[in-house]
Structure 1
């Protein structure tokens, strides 16, 4: 199957919303109503409503979320690096024989 690249986001949103709406609506209808003779009609009604909401969410939300994610700085070991900087700063003062208050949480790893 070949689909033009300009429809990539649309196809992704369709499959993402289809899978998520089927999964979540099935679980929630099972929990709330149990398995009885009305389960299938109730689930299909709930799923169709959930799919419409999920499709618009899966199509439009990633654009806004991507803009937010660009502004977040992800680091691997920020706390480790911060403690190392504090320890190095303390060592410089000690080596210069300058009295400074001790740094809490100083470690060398």
Structure 2
């Protein structure tokens, strides 16, 4: 054969010629026109076109704010009085702030 093969013809033999996979995904030919995309971290879908929402389902507790940081990972920004990866631990405000003169501390 001489000359270049037209892209439309090549795509019938190798589905990955058209570069269907997005966001840095790898394309593997299964057979002829059928292919599979191997997604990079943080993406999903047939062509890896959809970003994973790491905050889906509200993983943070106690009214914390979920922030997507990268590659499908998240961080919980805890409200005052809470700590932990998911803001699951109540900080005992009375532990470090002892009351004097017979007063009683109330943990907020």
Q: Of Structure 1 and Structure 2, which has the larger fraction of its residues in strand?
A: 2
TM-score, length of structure 2 as denominator length: 0.28
Q: Which has the higher contact order (CA 8 A, sep 6+)?
A: 1
Q: Of Structure 1 and Structure 2, which has the larger fraction of its residues in helix?
A: 1
TM-score, length of structure 1 as denominator length: 0.28
